Amino acid sequence: MGYTHYWKRKRDLTKEEFESLLCETKRVLEVAKVKGIGLIPDIGKDYVHINPAEGPGETFFIPKGRMPFSFCKTNHLPYDDVVVTILYFCMEKLSFEVTTDGTAKSIRKVL
Phi, psi (rounded to 5 degrees) for 42? -140, 100
At 27-70, the pLDDT tens digits run 999 999 999 999 999 999 999 999 999 878 899 999 998 888 99
The average pLDDT across 9-37 equals 95
Considering the chain, what percentage of its residues have pLDDT values greater than 70?
99
Q: Which amino acid is present at 104?
A: A
Given a contact cutoff of 8 angstroms between Cβ atoms, the answer to whether 107 and 88 are in contact is yes
Stretch (H or E) spanning 88: helix 80-93
In 3D, which of 52, 48, 58, 56 has the Cα closest to residue 90? Answer: 48
Are 43 and 26 a contacting pair, CB within 8 Å? yes
What is the reported pTM? Answer: 0.93
Give the residue extent of every domain in the chain: 36-69
The answer to whether 32 and 39 have CB atoms below 8 angstroms apart is: yes
**Distant-in-sequence, close-in-space partners of 94: CB < 8 Å, separation ≥ 6:** 9, 13, 17, 20, 21
